[in-house]
Structure 1
Amino acid sequence: NATAFSSLDRPQLPQVLQQSYIFPSSISAMEATITERGITSRHLLIGLPSGAILSLPKALLDPRRPEIPTEQSRCTDTRRAIHQL
């Protein structure tokens, strides 16, 4: 199909999926969780210098996650916040 692909065209540049994050304090250790069968969601465990351990869902760090919330997710988040009050 000449309309979908042509070997004479230059290849498209690859899309790079990456993001940078700023953490509010220093990090002394970091590791991803693993499970025996890989059924549960993975988390990133962050060790802080104070001895505390912080667990962040890996889905939160996914670069493909939309940066701008959709109208439906905004409505859901608002209902959840009101319900918690």
Structure 2
Amino acid sequence: MKRKNLVNGMVLAFSVVFIRFIDVKVYDMNLIVTLLLLVALIMGLMKLVDRIPALEEPVGKRAALVTNVLVVMTIFLAFFVLEL
């Protein structure tokens, strides 16, 4: 697995939590606007990740597993703590 794949997973998690936080706590957006903002944020960040050559290196299975577990736990905690 490449580092880029792990970073793309983090981008997805960050984007969902960030847009949901804005939708719930800052400004109540329409569903279509929320989805469009989410797609735009994900696409922009993934294009940015594609431009970083250092992320093409492979990562070990243990590091990938730990990173994925931390991302899932962060999503859960963010939704629980921030009451999203």
Fold conserved (TM > 0.5)?
Answer: no
Q: Output the TM-score relative to the length of structure 1.
A: 0.24
Tell me which of the two structures has the higher relative contact order, counting C-alpha pairs closer than 8 angstroms and 6 or more residues apart: 2
Q: Return the structure number with greater helix share.
A: 2
TM-score normalised by structure 2 residue count: 0.25
Higher strand share: 1
Bigger Rg, structure 1 or 2? 1
